Amino acid sequence: MPARPSPALISRLTTHPLRDELYGELHDRPTQLLDAPIRASHVAFLATPEETDTFREHVGRLARRYKAIEPARDARFFKGKFSGYELRWEQHTEFCSLTVIRPGAGDSPFAETAFGLLPDDWVYGIPGVVVVATHAVILGHEAPAPTEAQLTDWFEGQLVVGSRITSDRAAAWTSFGTHSDGFCRYLLHDMGLSPFQSGRTLQRILELETYRVMSLMALPVARELAAITTQLDGRLSAITDRFTSLATPEDEQAALADLSGIAAQVENYRSRTNYRFGATRAYHRLVDEILEDLREQPFPGMSSMTKFLDRRLGPGVRTCFAMEARLENLSERVGRASELLRTRIDVNIETQNQSLLAAMNRRGSMQLRLQQTVEGLSVAAISYYTVALLRILLESLEESGVPIRADIAIGIALPLVIFTVWWLVRRIRSPLVHEDP
């Protein structure tokens, strides 16, 4: 038999700092073992990180009241058994939830709720904003199936949808609406569930209610953006229509400034709504997975939860997806229009640069010809002064008795002086010409 490794061996190895957290993630929210009949109340609160910490402390105060173990400082899940009920607290990405479970169902399942067992003063101090509130009741397998009259009474006359679930081991009914106490209601009938299946089914139902409400949090945002994007789309179309009539660089710069303003607004709305639309997509996917996991079999003459949500929840979620796609499309169109206008401005600038270079070339040619003219005049002037100096020198020599005819010598030296001056000027200019043809 192979030797078993010592538990102390792992302590000698370097482990990742998140290892324990990653292992614990799979066991943070364990499924409860429940024996029907039971009543449960589930409330979800939108909470900021600060409110989440306050919420955890508030749950700790309730635990201290019953002399129970308090949640850890960084706990994301807490379960405690108190006097006559069980409390579960869970921290999610953007909300916290409370689930209260009590045994028994009674003749009127929703007359006495599990939430009513919580102390009033403690309930009034809960931080956060309620976004989901629902009661769920599981009838025992020995209880008869509810009649149509009972469903009408328990759901206060609202339209009820329902089906057999979990391979015909249970049945579920709901109206997906709030009732006189402000809570939504779910009624389940145990038709052969094990305690684990009862707990798992209740968890799925409560998650279904939470995620289907959270998936619609983006719908008001999408409706608000509908008018805004229509206005921005009209402004973009008006600017692109002006492209053909832009006559001056000032007109082009003004159009580019307008496009930049639209682009800034679109990106601002995208940055503000990306998380909300992404969350809607994730929540809706969870709703689909839960409905698929419930394995519904519809009752004759009654809509199932899947069909009801597909007809009622689907359009709202698709509206959010459409608005997200519309914003992305508008951003791409603004980008293409800006790129087109910048290309036009760049072409105009290049044309202006070419004209400027041509003008500079013409001025350079004129300056060269002027310089050459000046050089010719310079040769004449230098030659003139050189000959004048030479005349003075020769006349002085002639007067001093040197046998020389000054006028004849000057006549002979004149072409030599002119050639020498011309040659020297050309020699000085030659290196410059070779450096810059």
318 part of a folded domain: yes
- CA 347 vs. chain centroid, Å, equals 35
What predicted TM-score, i.e. pTM, was given to this entire model? 0.76
**Which are the contacts of 215, defined by CB distance < 8 A and separation ≥ 6?**
280, 283, 284, 287, 313, 317
67 part of a folded domain: yes
Give dist(CA 88, CA 79) in Å, integer: 4
Domain boundary among 186, 214, 242: 214
Average pLDDT over residues 409-414: 77
pLDDT tens-digit readout, 200-259: 999 999 999 999 999 999 999 999 999 999 999 998 888 888 877 777 778 778 888 888
pLDDT tens-digit readout, 138-157: 999 899 999 999 999 999 99
Reported confidence tier of residue 21, pLDDT bands at 50, 70, 90: low
63 part of a folded domain: yes
pLDDT tens-digit readout, 180-199: 999 999 999 999 999 999 99
Query: Which two tokens mark 290?
Result: 């839960």
Same domain? For 191 and 257 the reply is: no
287 part of a folded domain: yes
pLDDT at 276 over 80: yes
Same domain? For 336 and 417 the reply is: no
Same domain? For 335 and 367 the reply is: no
Domain boundary among 292, 324, 355: 355
The residue range of the domain holding 423 is 361-430
Give dist(CA 349, CA 314) in Å, integer: 52
Q: How many CA atoms lie within 13 A of 240 on its CB side?
A: 15
Q: Nearest-5° angle of CA 129, CA 198, CA 202?
A: 20
* Residue 2: per-residue pLDDT: 52
pLDDT at 401 over 80: no
pLDDT at 313 over 80: yes
Query: Which two tokens mark 291?
Result: 């409905």
Give dist(CA 261, CA 218) in Å, integer: 25
Same domain? For 188 and 149 the reply is: yes
336 part of a folded domain: yes
Same domain? For 149 and 192 the reply is: yes
pLDDT at 1 over 50: no
Strands of the 297-298 sheet, one edge to the other = 77-82, 85-91, 95-103, 38-46, 129-139, 184-190, 170-178, 161-165, 297-298
7 part of a folded domain: no
Same domain? For 227 and 89 the reply is: no
Query: Which two tokens mark 9?
Result: 């061996």
8 part of a folded domain: no
* Residue 3: per-residue pLDDT: 53
Same domain? For 70 and 175 the reply is: yes
Same domain? For 155 and 258 the reply is: no
Same domain? For 267 and 376 the reply is: no
* Residue 27: per-residue pLDDT: 62
Query: 100 forms bridges with which residues in the sheet?
Result: 41, 87
Reported confidence tier of residue 370, pLDDT bands at 50, 70, 90: confident
pLDDT at 296 over 90: yes
Domain boundary among 312, 329, 355: 355
pLDDT tens-digit readout, 159-188: 999 999 998 999 999 999 999 999 999 999
Query: pLDDT averaged over the chain?
Result: 86
Same domain? For 193 and 265 the reply is: no
pLDDT tens-digit readout, 71-92: 888 888 999 998 889 999 999 9
* Residue 259: per-residue pLDDT: 87
CB atoms within 10 A of CB 348: 14
146 part of a folded domain: yes
Same domain? For 170 and 61 the reply is: yes
Task: Please state the domain count of the chain.
Answer: 3
pLDDT tens-digit readout, 26-46: 666 677 888 889 999 999 999
* Residue 25: per-residue pLDDT: 62
* Residue 26: per-residue pLDDT: 62
Same domain? For 190 and 236 the reply is: no
SS3 category, 83: coil
